Amino acid sequence: MITMYSLGAAEEVTGSKHILEIDGHQIMIDCGAFQGKRQLSDTKNRDFDIAADKLDAVVLTHGHYDHCGLLPVLTKKGFTGNIYATPATRDIANLVMMDSARIQARDAEFLAKQANKKGEKFTWRPLFNEDDVVKTANQIISLSYNRKMYIAPNVSLEFYDAGHILGSGFAYLTITNGSEETRVLFTGDIGRKEKPIIRNPAVNMPPPDYIVLESTYGNRKHEDAEFAMKELERVVRDTCSKKGKIIIPSFAIERAQELVFYLHLLTDRKKIPVVPIYVDSPMAANATSVFRVHPECYDESVNEAFLKHHKNPFGFGSLSFTTSVEESKSLNDKEGPMIIISADGMCEAGRVLYHLANEIGNERNTILIVGYMAENTLGRKIRDGEKEVKILGDMYHVNAKVEQINAFSAHADYTEMTDWLKTIDTSRLKNIFLVHGEKEAQEFFTDYLHQNGFPNVTTVKYDETYDLK
């Protein structure tokens, strides 16, 4: 008996948590935190309820917070088993979890002071601390791409490159029952072809019986990379001509490194003026160091530059990484033109909030949106053109120009995912389960898949159990 159910990322984006149960043995695929509106996300993350001691193993597809962020909570709840991940995912996840623990500790200190000033009772506590992250990290077992390992009785795991971020993997699970096999492929987040730095999503796996497929961009298409380069060039040149600042809210892992890579190319080709570029995110700086020690994940072009010619694709003359709070604050006093790449990607936390508060009212400046913005987030409101937004408790008029470039997403869009499905061997495919997407996107994607020869598609609903026969 094989069944599957989801505790997150069911008819919504973020919070990926899927359970595969095989004859009473439970394997969890990803244990992600919900991201989005701060208070709602905190409530949902605290409501995470599972019999952790009953899990045989956890499989981690990649190191983004919405896939790994609640692993320390899981271990606090009594999970003592192995967590399987690629070597690069192990390093990225450790970085992300530790960063989250430190942010929560700072938030608790700040909020306690605020409550004390107001004479209010303060009860909020972090979900986990640094010690919990260390304990979790000790449970991670590294498994390289294309290496098979048994992780439960009659259950083997093999990772194939998902092409999404550094170390991301398709989790291919094979369940053996005598001479019969049931094969389940969890895509995690699936990447795009021809992205810089990392390889294309793998297509060389054996034919699966079931695919659990993400659908973040189930109803949206991306521009191509060449268009993105031209748009980035246009935005930089236009803003620099006004001596303005370009604020780019960006996730610290993959997106920040990719933007640096593109800006490096444009500068080398003299397509944009030499302008100061600041990556204002300690985690992005640390993540870039992780990139440097995992060349096994690079595509051929980066391998060529990085390994054979000893050039650093993640650093050049006009680029600076700011790590201290003082360095970050000093950017507010500097005159443009300049480019500031800062986390958080959805503008719900982090240093980017202070840059937005300082710069969003200036019409010479540009806010450049380069990634997914969840519903009800500040980033979504800015992207959707709201003229006045609340930042750090105060209202600000949006006078800065707002631009968007869709081609930088690390997620495949619905046409790219369908093309990938047509490229792999689907001769045994019985059903596609859609997760990690908003309802409207999943409805559109389901219709599109039907039109393209994939008639059996199921949208996974929260806590509903599905038989895999």
Mean pLDDT of 309-335: 76
Residue 392 or 79, more confident: 79
Q: Is the bond into 337 cis (omega within 30 degrees of 0)?
A: yes
**Residue 200, phi then psi, degrees to nearest 5:** -70, 155
Q: How far apart are CA 450 and CA 429, in angstroms?
A: 14
Q: How far apart are CA 434 and CA 212, in angstroms?
A: 6
- 414: which 2 tokens? 């619905």
**What is the per-residue DSSP string for 285-335?**
HHHHHHHHT-GGGB-HHHHIIIIIS---TT--TTEEEE-SHHHHHHGGGS-
**To the nearest whole number, what is the mean pLDDT of the chain?**
91
Which one, of 469, 441, 445, lies nearest residue 457 by Cα?
Answer: 445
Question: Where are the domains positioned within the chain?
Answer: 2-220+410-467, 225-408
Q: Is residue 102 pLDDT above 80, yes or no? A: yes
- Residue 305 burial by Cβ neighbours in a 10 Å radius (0-12, 13-18, 19+): middle
Percentage of the chain surpassing pLDDT 70?
97
Give, as one character, the DSSP assignment of residue 224.
Answer: P
For 39, the 3-state DSSP assignment is: helix
CB 259, CB 341: distance < 8 Å: yes
For 401-411, what is each residue's pLDDT tens digit? 999 998 888 89
pLDDT of residue 225: 78
Which one, of 222, 217, 246, lies nearest residue 232 by Cα?
Answer: 246
- Listed range (3-7, 225-229, 254-258, 322-326) with the worst mean pLDDT: 254-258
- Longest pairwise C-alpha distance within the chain: 70
Q: How far apart are CA 27 and CA 270, in angstroms?
A: 51
Left, alpha or beta for 460 (phi > 0: left; psi -120 to 50: alpha)? beta
Highest mean pLDDT among 105-114, 218-227, 306-315, 381-390: 381-390
Instruction: Tell me what percent of the chain is helix, strand and coil, each rounded to the nearest 5.
Output: 35, 25, 40
For 201-223, what is each residue's pLDDT tens digit? 999 999 999 999 999 999 999 88
Strands 82-85 and 55-59, bridge-based pairing: parallel
pLDDT band of residue 317 (cuts 50, 70, 90) is low
Cut 0.85: pTM above it: yes
Q: Is residue 148 pLDDT above 70, yes or no? A: yes
Q: What sign for the dihedral angle of Cα 347, 434, 209, 56? A: positive
For 24, the 3-state DSSP assignment is: coil
pLDDT band of residue 272 (cuts 50, 70, 90) is very high
Which fold is adopted by the domain 2-220+410-467?
Metallo-beta-lactamase; Chain A (3.60.15)
User: CATH second-level architecture of 225-408?
Assistant: 3-Layer(aba) Sandwich (3.40)
**Residue 219, phi then psi, degrees to nearest 5:** -135, 20
Strands 149-152 and 155-161, bridge-based pairing: antiparallel
For 106, the 3-state DSSP assignment is: helix
pLDDT of residue 306: 52
For 236-259, what is each residue's pLDDT tens digit? 999 999 999 999 998 777 788 788
For 7-49, what is each residue's pLDDT tens digit? 999 999 999 999 999 999 999 999 999 987 778 889 999 999 9
- 238: which 2 tokens? 């236009």
Other CB atoms within 10 A of residue 80 CB: 10
Residue whose structure tokens are 């009659």: 154
Give, as one character, the DSSP assignment of residue 198.
Answer: B
Q: What sign for the dihedral angle of Cα 320, 326, 330, 331? A: positive
Strands in 25-31's sheet, in edge-to-edge order, are: 140-142, 82-85, 55-59, 25-31, 17-22, 2-8, 466-467
Distance of CA 437 to the CA centre of its chain: 13
Q: Which residues 6+ apart lie within 8 Å of 423 measured at CB?
A: 203
Same-fold call for 2-220+410-467 versus 225-408 = no
pLDDT band of residue 305 (cuts 50, 70, 90) is low
**Residue 156, phi then psi, degrees to nearest 5:** -110, 155
Mean pLDDT of 364-375: 89
